[in-house]
């Protein structure tokens, strides 16, 4: 049932599964790349018409239009419920097909993770009695068991997100890009690097390739993810460390890291926890150290278009992203600055939906 890999990507256990999941990838591409622009354009056109007719009052003081008004207008557009059904269906098909396929190979996957721990025990760090708090146990993106509760979660996440990224990350291309664009400290002293919310370590191992003399760590709350990440790193000969811990209670010493990367972490935690995580990262980054962030946009200045606001709200309910609307509405840059960071725009990335920020701890 183990059909090997295509590059760094494991193949599903049956050719029929692989063919089906390629269809799901195409379905997702259609829903996201073709369907969303049509839904968004039609909804925003309907919104402009509602302004003209007086059905909806357009704020004249520069404030943002209430989300409920956007949802009410978008819901009347005929294509909107069709697009919502497409987005939900492809997500269910993605996880159902991926997990069913890799479950056939469960014994070998579990044995490979165990073997990696036995051969390189000093590179994986977790407390077997650690209990992830309730807020971390949501089935984000509708993944069965979420990041914490399915022992096969790493393998399911790996191929599932291959589909989620619509084929653009089959060989970790997007994670490689973010690792390459992680900003170095001005003094270029780089001894320790942290990939926080590392999931299966796709950026973590690239950071080690880029900075071979540095000690590189990946931290995540999901034990199934870091066990799989550790296995991948061992199999590929990458000397990196993986740790299960809360990002807001990392256990690292003060002023410990020169560079930190966070890729799409903060919209997946409550705003209260986000503030705690930022405070913790400020503590463990050394003076002059740099925190690179690639994340969802924020609408604190009313700059996110109505179509994206509708999509993010729909995503929160239909794709189990319960914390993203509050994140998008937050003053994320202001929260970083309140923690003590100096914040400026970061390098542009190919996914122009994301914001890029560089947060530096003053020297």
Which structural domains are found in the chain, ordered by start?
A: 5-121 (no CATH), 134-360 (3.40.50.150)
According to the model, what pLDDT value does residue 272 have?
98
pLDDT, position 46: 98
Q: Which tokens hold the place of 28?
A: 């997702």
Lowest-pLDDT range, 95-104, 154-163, 300-309, 336-345?
A: 300-309
Q: What's this model's pTM, rounded to 2 decimal places?
A: 0.95
311, pLDDT greater than 80: yes
What was the pLDDT predicted at 70?
96
Is the pLDDT confidence value at 1 over 80? no
User: What pLDDT, on the 0 to 100 scale, is given for residue 23?
Assistant: 98
Give the model confidence (pLDDT) of 256-291 as tens digits.
Answer: 999 999 999 999 999 999 999 999 999 999 999 999
> Looking at the predicted structure, is the pLDDT value of residue 354 above 90?
yes
Task: Give the mean pLDDT of 156-184.
Answer: 97
Distant-in-sequence, close-in-space partners of 144: CB < 8 Å, separation ≥ 6? 95, 99, 150, 156
Please state the rounded mean pLDDT for residues 11-21: 98
Q: Distance (Å, rounded) from C-alpha 111 to C-alpha 49?
A: 60
Give 179's pLDDT tier (boundaries 50, 70, 90).
very high
Q: Virtual CA dihedral for 178, 181, 186, 188, nearest 10 degrees?
A: 80
- For residue 116, give every residue at least 6 positions away whose Cβ sits within 8 Å of its Cβ, in sequence order, or none: 124, 227, 230, 231, 234, 235
Under the banding of pLDDT at 50, 70 and 90, the label for residue 302 is low
pLDDT at position 158 is 98
What is the model's pLDDT at position 139? 96
Annotate 64-86 with DSSP letters as a single string.
PPPHHHHHHHHTTSTHHHHHHHH
Confidence tier at 63 by pLDDT (50, 70, 90): confident
pLDDT tens readout for residues 67-122: 999 999 999 999 999 999 999 999 999 999 999 999 999 999 999 999 999 999 99
Check residue 301 and give its pLDDT: 63
C-alpha 43/C-alpha 74 separation (Å) is 5
pLDDT digits (tens, 9 = 90+) for 24-46: 999 999 999 999 999 999 999 99
Report the share of the chain in percent with pLDDT over 90. 94
Does residue 282 contact residue 300 with C-beta atoms inside 8 Å?
no
The pLDDT tens digits of the residues spanning 209-259 come to: 999 999 999 999 999 999 999 999 999 999 999 999 999 999 999 999 999
Q: Give the three-class secondary structure for 259.
A: strand
- Check if the beta carbon of residue 360 is closer than 8 Å to that of residue 291: yes
Rounded mean pLDDT of the chain?
A: 96
State yes or no: pLDDT of 147 exceeds 90.
yes
Tell me: pLDDT of 327 over 90.
Answer: yes
Sign of the CA dihedral running 115, 118, 120, 121? positive
């Amino acid at each position: 049932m183990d059909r090997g890999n295509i590059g760094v990507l494991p193949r599903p256990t049956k050719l029929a599964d692989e063919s089906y999941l390629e269809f799901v990838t195409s379905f997702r591409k259609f829903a996201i790349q073709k369907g969303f622009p049509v839904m968004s354009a039609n909804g925003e056109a309907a919104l402009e018409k509602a302004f003209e007719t007086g059905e909806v009052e357009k704020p004249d003081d520069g404030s943002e239009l209430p989300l409920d008004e956007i949802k009410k207008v978008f819901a009347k557009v005929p294509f909107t419920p069709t697009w919502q059904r497409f987005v939900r269906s492809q997500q269910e098909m993605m996880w159902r097909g991926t997990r069913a396929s890799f479950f056939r190979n469960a014994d070998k996957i579990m044995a490979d993770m165990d073997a990696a721990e036995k051969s390189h025990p000093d590179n994986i760090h977790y407390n077997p009695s650690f209990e992830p708090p309730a807020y971390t146990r949501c089935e984000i993106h509708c993944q069965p068991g979420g990041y914490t509760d399915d022992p096969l979660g790493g393998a399911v996440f790996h191929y599932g997100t291959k589909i989620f990224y619509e084929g653009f990350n089959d060989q970790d291309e997007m994670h490689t890009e973010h690792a390459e664009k992680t900003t170095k400290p001005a003094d270029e002293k780089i001894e320790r690097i942290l990939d926080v919310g590392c999931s299966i370590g796709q950026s973590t191992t690239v950071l080690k390739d880029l900075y071979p003399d540095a000690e590189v760590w990946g931290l995540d709350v999901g034990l199934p993810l870091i066990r799989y990440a550790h296995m991948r790193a061992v199999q590929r000969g990458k000397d990196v460390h993986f740790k299960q811990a809360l990002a807001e209670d990392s256990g690292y010493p003060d002023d410990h890291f020169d560079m930190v990367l966070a890729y799409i972490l903060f919209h997946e935690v409550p705003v209260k926890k986000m503030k705690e995580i930022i405070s913790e990262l400020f503590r463990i980054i050394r003076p002059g150290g740099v925190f690179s962030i690639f994340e969802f946009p924020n609408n604190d200045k009313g700059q996110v278009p109505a179509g994206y606001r509708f999509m993010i709200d729909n995503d929160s309910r239909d794709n189990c992203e319960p914390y993203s609307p509050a994140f998008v509405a937050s003053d994320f840059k202001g929260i970083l600055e309140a923690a003590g960071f100096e914040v400026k725009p970061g390098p542009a990335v190919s996914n122009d939906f994301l914001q890029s920020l560089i947060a530096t701890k003053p020297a």
